[in-house]
Structure 1
Amino acid sequence: MSSRWIPLESNPDVLNAWAKKAGMASNVEFGDVYGFDDSLLAMVPQPVKAVVLLFPISKESEARRTKEDSEIATNGQPELDPTILWIKQTISNACGTMGLIHAIANSDVTVAPMSPLAKFIEQCIDKTPEERSKLLETTPLFADIHAQAASSGQSAVPTNLDTDLHFTCFVAAPSPKGEKRLIELDGRRNGPIDRGACTDLLKDAAQTIQNLYVGESQSMQFNVMSLGPRHTD
Structure 2
Amino acid sequence: MSSRWIPLESNPDVLNSWSNKAGLVPLVQFDDVFGLDEALLTMVPQPVKAVVLLFPISPESEARRKQEDEEILSKGQPTLDPTVFWIKQTISNACGTMGLIHAIANSDATLKPESPLSKFIDQCTDKTPEERAKLLETTPLFADIHAQAASSGQSAVPTNLDTDLHFTCFVAAPSAGTGPGMRVVELDGRRNGPIDRGECTDLLADAAKVIQEVYMGNSQSMQFNVMALGPAAKD
TM-score, structure 2 normalization: 0.98
Residues matched between the structures, number = 233
Q: Which residue pairs with 1:85 in the alignment?
A: 85
Q: Which residue pairs with 2:97 in the alignment?
A: 97
In the TM superposition, residue 216 of structure 1 has moved relative to its aligned partner by 0.6
Determine the C-alpha separation between the residues in 1 that align with 2:131 and 2:16.
27
Q: Which residue pairs with 1:179 in the alignment?
A: 181
Determine the C-alpha separation between the residues in 2 that align with 1:59 and 1:218.
13
| Paired amino acid for 2:201 | T
| Paired amino acid for 1:75 | K
Q: Which residue pairs with 1:123 in the alignment?
A: 123
| Paired amino acid for 2:137 | E
Q: Which residue pairs with 1:114 in the alignment?
A: 114
Determine the C-alpha separation between the residues in 1 that align with 2:203 and 2:209.
10
| Paired amino acid for 1:158 | P
Q: Which residue pairs with 2:67 in the alignment?
A: 67
Identity %: 78
Q: Which residue pairs with 1:188 in the alignment?
A: 190
Partner secondary structure for residue 74 of structure 2? helix
Determine the C-alpha separation between the residues in 2 that align with 1:39 and 1:175.
29
In the TM superposition, residue 230 of structure 1 has moved relative to its aligned partner by 0.4
In the TM superposition, residue 60 of structure 1 has moved relative to its aligned partner by 1.6
In the TM superposition, residue 141 of structure 1 has moved relative to its aligned partner by 2.4
| Paired amino acid for 1:107 | S
> Do the aligned partners of 1:86 and 1:129 also contact (CA within 8 Å) in 2?
yes
Listed as ranges, the gaps of 5+ residues in structure 2 are none
In the TM superposition, residue 140 of structure 1 has moved relative to its aligned partner by 1.6
Q: Give runs of aligned pairs for residues 45-64 of structure 1, distance below 5 A.
A: 45-64=45-64
TM-score, structure 1 normalization: 0.99
Determine the C-alpha separation between the residues in 2 that align with 1:178 and 1:96.
32
Q: Which residue pairs with 1:20 in the alignment?
A: 20
> Do the aligned partners of 1:85 and 1:125 also contact (CA within 8 Å) in 2?
no
In the TM superposition, residue 178 of structure 1 has moved relative to its aligned partner by 2.2
| Paired amino acid for 1:160 | N
Give every structure 1 segment of 4 or more consecutive aligned residues whose post-TM-superposition deviation is greater than 6 Å.
none
| Paired amino acid for 1:51 | V
Partner secondary structure for residue 196 of structure 2? strand
Determine the C-alpha separation between the residues in 2 that align with 1:146 and 1:58.
25
